[in-house]
Amino acid sequence: MILALETSCDDTCAALVTDEGRIESNVISSQGLLHSRYGGVVPEVASRRHLELIDAVTADALESAGASLDDVKRVAVTRGPGLIGALLVGVSYAKAMAATRKLPLAPVDHLHGHVTASTLGEDPVQAPYLCLVASGGHTFLARVDEPGSYRILGQTLDDAAGEAFDKGARLLGLGYPGGPELDRLAREGDPDFFDFPRSAPGGSSSLDFSFSGVKTALLYAVRDLGETQASDRRADLAASYQRAIVAALVDRTAQAVAREGLVRLAIGGGVAANSELRSSLEGLAGTLGIRIWIPPPELCTDNAAMIGAAARFVDSLPYPGYLSLDAAARL
Ligand code: KG4
Ligand code: ZN
């Protein structure tokens, strides 16, 4: 079994995954509530909390899997990208866990984790496939020809889709993290009430995204409506805003499928937990006659099982070479 750890942002995560991709346990301790009073993740607070939680979260993952450290043959950890202090907690802990038993250690790229989330479970996606990753820090389309790597075809030029959800939610007075709350509020609104821009930077020859324009459009709409009207139209604003973000993601995905000639599509990242995106992409797959892999929400948002998934496809470092391994805010 692989013991996988993930601490790149504000979730402390540990999981046990087999070499075949079976998830034996997947424990996620979210710090959402802790950071909500600040309206966003405070890096130093996140690092300190990871330090307090990681031992218990790892013990919980072992216990839920009915396993002990004797069953662990490899340790995997997110090396980056992410908050450097937060990453360091996971990397240091993983090194210590591996070194005490002289186990190999697999350093994993967090984004590779999101890309390979759908390779877990009973019905894993097989390469080659197209993957849409939309999270709080990243938004990109990638081509996976073999599961050990991925090639980015297009990415956001400014805000990530999750960032756009969070900033929009804040403009609408919703709590943090805003994405799930906006998703809920949007269900009560009319997505066609406001006409927010669906940007496609670079036109049809590009697969890049841009979400800063839609965010500004929402800001102006709220300002123009005034406090009372904006409050009355909150659900319509949320639904129309979500529609614009989802449409931009879906349009680019459709374009990528056509351009790359792929018949398998997987999605990942926190925004892949969005209900409208999930149903829209399912519809798209039906229309295009391709297969889609939509992981359960807990494998879309940050988790350690996906780090274990990616670890199966990367080279592990033997003991004691990894003792000099460093976390990296950017890869
Ligand atoms: O992948 P993730 O957990 O962390 C990063 O690697 O960034 O993604 C977190 C992002 C946040 O911006 C959050 O608001 C967004 O994913 N998110 C959602 C939903 N659930 C999480 N956005 C829209 N709808 C959701 N249901
Ligand atoms: Zn992530």
* pLDDT for the residue numbered 251: 97
* pLDDT for the residue numbered 38: 85
**pTM score over 0.75:** yes
Closest CA to 207 of 164, 153, 171: 153
* pLDDT for the residue numbered 321: 97
CA 162–ligand 1 middle distance (angstroms): 5
Cα dist. 81→102, 122, 161, 270 in Å? 26, 29, 17, 15
* pLDDT for the residue numbered 73: 98
Cα dist. 92→54, 212, 282, 326 in Å? 11, 36, 40, 9
* pLDDT for the residue numbered 129: 98
Tell me how long the chain is: 331
Alpha helices, DSSP H, located in 188-329: 212-232, 234-260, 275-288, 297-300, 305-311
In this structure, how many other beta carbons lie within 10 angstroms of the beta carbon of residue 129? 25
* pLDDT for the residue numbered 244: 98
* Token reading at 78: 């997110």
All residues at 6 or more sequence positions from 321 whose CB lies less than 8 Å from its CB, including other chains: none
* Token reading at 40: 């966003």
**Pairing mode of beta strands 151-155, 139-144:** antiparallel
pLDDT tens digits, 121-154 = 999 999 999 999 999 999 999 999 999 999 999 9
Question: Which bound ligand lies closest to the C-alpha atom of 111?
Answer: 2
* pLDDT for the residue numbered 34: 87
**Pairing mode of beta strands 139-144, 129-134:** antiparallel
Task: Indicate whether residue 7 lines ligand 1 (CB < 6 A).
Answer: no
d(CA 4, CA 265): 25
* pLDDT for the residue numbered 254: 98
Residues of the chain with pLDDT under 70: none
* pLDDT for the residue numbered 166: 95
* pLDDT for the residue numbered 256: 98
CA 240–ligand 2 middle distance (angstroms): 25
d(CA 242, CA 254): 18
* Token reading at 159: 């805000």
* pLDDT for the residue numbered 208: 98
Task: Indicate whether residue 270 lines ligand 1 (CB < 6 A).
Answer: yes
Q: What are phi and psi of 47, to 5 degrees?
A: -60, -45
d(CA 168, CA 234): 11
Using DSSP's 3-state secondary structure scheme, residue 268 falls into strand
Task: Indicate whether residue 180 lines ligand 1 (CB < 6 A).
Answer: yes
pLDDT tens digits, 81-123 = 999 999 999 999 999 999 999 999 999 999 999 999 999 999 9
**Pairing mode of beta strands 23-30, 11-17:** antiparallel
